[in-house]
């Protein structure tokens, strides 16, 4: 029983809440709240009032209401300056209008509202039909003006699109293809806005333009936050296209990614790595990254380290390494190669060898490889020892033993005489340029229709 009572009370409370909401919705539709809160004119109540004054008020209101179609059926009663309005009206707006007119007449102290908004279907249908007919007549009357406004807007749109397609015109202003295309899009947008202003001016709706622009601004801001990365990439593309940091086929290192440049699009920079793989880097990352361009300067320096025994003559080893570098075709004589003592290690002395390569004529990797081979061969022929690391192991009983890692069976780290005689002293490796990746980039340029913002006419950074 208790559970049943709780259920009934809950249903009753729900019914009350629905009734309150229904009353609110009904007030909103019929305008009851609006009528109750109709603006009242503040007046000073006169001390002297007569029946003659009441008749004058009543007569004046009857004259006013008789001129208005929707107020002709309202009955007016006046007593001591208090006006009572009775009758049926079809809409709440008519009821509000009657109250406002009665309050504005001089001598009226208070208005008693007894007007009822009728729900008669026939009256409502007649009122709706009148409104619809009036709207239709206005639309038919303004149809030529509406068609003219639409025609002006469409013509502005078409004219802006035609002008934006004139690539040569914008290329004279901006030699860069991407910037010229951007100018064309902005021009098209300006013509669209011009057509919209002309159309709204013809329809006398210019006040709507500020509302439309405000809404467009809010929507654009929301979209901008949603696609922030895309917008950032697009802006970075504009800045990169104004001053190109690299050209097609340049060997670059961007944020740790090394490869030859294929193209610069509106969203990303495409590279082909030395392994032949495509690397796509967002332009926002490219714009903010440290870029190393290995191709911009044809001369590039290589380096590598060689360790020799601490008992060797350092000057002799340096002179021998310089002589070996000078004999290699790909190593430039200017700038001169350098052999510097880099560090004194535990079991060797570290020599750091520098040399310069002209990348337009020779392969950087091949020349470096040949330099390492030639210096190793010269050191072997001159019996310059390049010792292996030595590790000292301390045994618990205090005895010390030296463990030496050796690649050769011989304990003196020297080559046998017969092995030295077999060394190919005059052998020379192929150091010509390797154009494999460059050819792949060229094939990409031929077979791809994707846009490329890298232009030789654009200034370089």
Model confidence at 4: pLDDT above 90: no
Whether 149 and 108 map to the same domain: the answer is: no
Whether 122 and 167 map to the same domain: the answer is: no
Give the mean pLDDT of 349-360: 90
**Which domain-ending residue is among 194, 210, 226?**
226
Counting the structural domains of the chain, the total is: 3
Whether 304 and 402 map to the same domain: the answer is: yes
- Confidence at residue 167, expressed as pLDDT on a 0 to 100 scale: 73
- Quick check: is 284 in a domain? no
Q: Which of 251, 279, 291, 307 is nearest to 438 (CA)?
A: 251
User: Residue 311 is part of which domain span?
Assistant: 299-421
- Quick check: is 129 in a domain? yes
- Confidence at residue 356, expressed as pLDDT on a 0 to 100 scale: 92
Give the mean pLDDT of 56-84: 84
Model confidence at 256: pLDDT above 80: yes
Give the mean pLDDT of 64-91: 83
Whether 194 and 303 map to the same domain: the answer is: no
- Confidence at residue 430, expressed as pLDDT on a 0 to 100 scale: 60
Whether 415 and 312 map to the same domain: the answer is: yes
CATH number at residue 405: 3.30.70.100
Pairing of strands 257-264, 268-272: antiparallel
Whether 417 and 307 map to the same domain: the answer is: yes
Q: How confident is the model at residue 240 (pLDDT cuts 50, 70, 90)?
A: confident
Model confidence at 318: pLDDT above 80: yes
Whether 304 and 414 map to the same domain: the answer is: yes
- Quick check: is 241 in a domain? no
Whether 103 and 151 map to the same domain: the answer is: no
Whether 356 and 315 map to the same domain: the answer is: yes
Whether 303 and 414 map to the same domain: the answer is: yes
- Quick check: is 441 in a domain? no
**Which domain-ending residue is among 139, 158, 183?**
139
The helix-helix angle for 92-104 and 51-67 (nearest 10°) equals 140
CATH number at residue 128: 3.30.1340.30
Q: How confident is the model at residue 252 (pLDDT cuts 50, 70, 90)?
A: very high
Whether 319 and 417 map to the same domain: the answer is: yes
Whether 415 and 309 map to the same domain: the answer is: yes
**Which domain-ending residue is among 110, 139, 168?**
139
Q: How confident is the model at residue 29 (pLDDT cuts 50, 70, 90)?
A: very low
- Quick check: is 154 in a domain? yes
- Quick check: is 205 in a domain? yes
- Quick check: is 24 in a domain? no
- Confidence at residue 368, expressed as pLDDT on a 0 to 100 scale: 92
The highest-confidence range among 141-150, 171-180, 220-229, 262-271, by mean pLDDT, is 262-271
- Quick check: is 455 in a domain? no
């Amino acid at each position: 029983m208790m559970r049943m009572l709780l259920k009934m009370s809950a249903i009753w409370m729900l019914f009350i809440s629905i009734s309150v909401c229904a009353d609110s919705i009904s007030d909103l539709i019929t305008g009851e709240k609006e009528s109750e809160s109709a603006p009242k004119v503040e007046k000073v109540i006169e001390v002297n009032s007569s029946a003659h004054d009441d008749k004058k008020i009543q007569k004046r209101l009857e004259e006013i209401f008789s001129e208005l179609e929707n107020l002709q059926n309202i009955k007016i009663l006046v007593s001591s300056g208090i006006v009572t309005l009775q009758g049926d009206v079809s809409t709440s707006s008519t009821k509000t209008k009657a109250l406002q007119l009665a309050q504005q007449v001089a001598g009226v102290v208070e208005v008693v509202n007894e007007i009822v908004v009728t729900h008669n279907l026939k009256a409502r249908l007649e009122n709706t039909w009148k409104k619809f007919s009036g709207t239709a007549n206005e639309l038919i009357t303004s149809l030529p003006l509406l068609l003219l406004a639409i025609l002006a807007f469409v013509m502005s749109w078409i004219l802006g699109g035609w002008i934006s397609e004139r690539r040569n015109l914008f290329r004279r202003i901006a030699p860069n293809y991407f910037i010229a295309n951007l100018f064309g899009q902005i021009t098209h947008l300006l013509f669209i806005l011009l057509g919209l202003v002309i159309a709204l001016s013809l329809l006398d709706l210019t006040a709507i333009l500020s509302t439309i622009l405000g809404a467009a601004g809010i929507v654009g801001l929301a979209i901008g936050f949603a696609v922030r990365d895309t917008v950032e990439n697009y802006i970075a593309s504009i800045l990169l296209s104004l001053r190109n940091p690299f050209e097609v086929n340049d060997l670059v290192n961007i944020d740790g990614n090394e490869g030859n440049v294929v193209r610069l699009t509106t969203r990303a920079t495409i590279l082909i790595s030395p392994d032949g793989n495509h690397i796509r880097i967002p332009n926002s990352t490219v714009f903010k990254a440290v870029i190393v361009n290995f191709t911009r300067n044809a001369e590039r320096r290589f380096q590598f380290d060689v360790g020799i025994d601490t008992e060797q003559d350092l000057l002799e080893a340096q002179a021998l390494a310089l002589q070996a570098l000078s004999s290699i075709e790909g190593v430039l004589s200017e700038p001169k190669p350098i052999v510097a003592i880099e560090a004194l290690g535990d079991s060797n002395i570290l020599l750091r060898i520098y040399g310069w390569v002209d990348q337009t004529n020779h392969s950087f990797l091949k020349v470096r490889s040949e330099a390492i081979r030639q210096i190793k061969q010269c050191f072997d022929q001159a019996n310059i020892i390049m010792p292996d690391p030595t590790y000292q192991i301390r045994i618990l009983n205090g005895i010390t033993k030296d463990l030496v890692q050796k690649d050769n069976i011989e304990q003196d780290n020297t080559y046998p005489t017969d092995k030295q005689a077999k060394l190919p002293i005059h052998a020379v490796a192929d150091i010509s340029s390797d154009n494999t990746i460059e050819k792949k980039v060229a094939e990409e340029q031929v077979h791809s229709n994707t846009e490329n913002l890298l232009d030789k006419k654009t200034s370089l950074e």
